[in-house]
Amino acid sequence: MPQRRLKKLELIAISDIYGDVLRVKGLTSIIGEAERENRIIVIAGDITRGDASEKSVKDLMEMLSETCKYVFYVPGD
């Protein structure tokens, strides 16, 4: 039986970004877009502060999805 090659998979975990767009942009520039298909990011805790709009949450998630194929969010503290 032929052997299957396992793909490299990166798992990135961040928490409590509180809508900090500059920090998220910094993170995405470090991660880069190369190998996006083999990358998962898990965001735990608070994505924004209490007064954030739905658009600001969507914008943050879109920024992260440019560098990671799968973006998972676990709400709460």
Q: Is residue 4 part of a domain?
A: no
Q: Is residue 36 part of a domain?
A: yes
Domain that includes residue 27, residue range: 10-74
Q: Output the pLDDT for position 43.
A: 93
**pTM listed for this prediction:** 0.78
Work out how many domains the chain is built from and give that number.
1
What the block records as the tokens of 6 is 């396992």
Q: Is residue 32 part of a domain?
A: yes
Q: Is residue 3 part of a domain?
A: no
Q: What is the pLDDT of residues 10-67, one digit of tens each?
A: 999 999 988 888 999 999 999 887 788 889 999 998 888 777 777 888 888 899 999 9
CA distance linking residue 76 with residue 32, whole number of Å:
28
Residue 26: DSSP 8-state: H
Q: Is residue 46 part of a domain?
A: yes
Q: Is residue 1 part of a domain?
A: no
Q: Is residue 5 part of a domain?
A: no
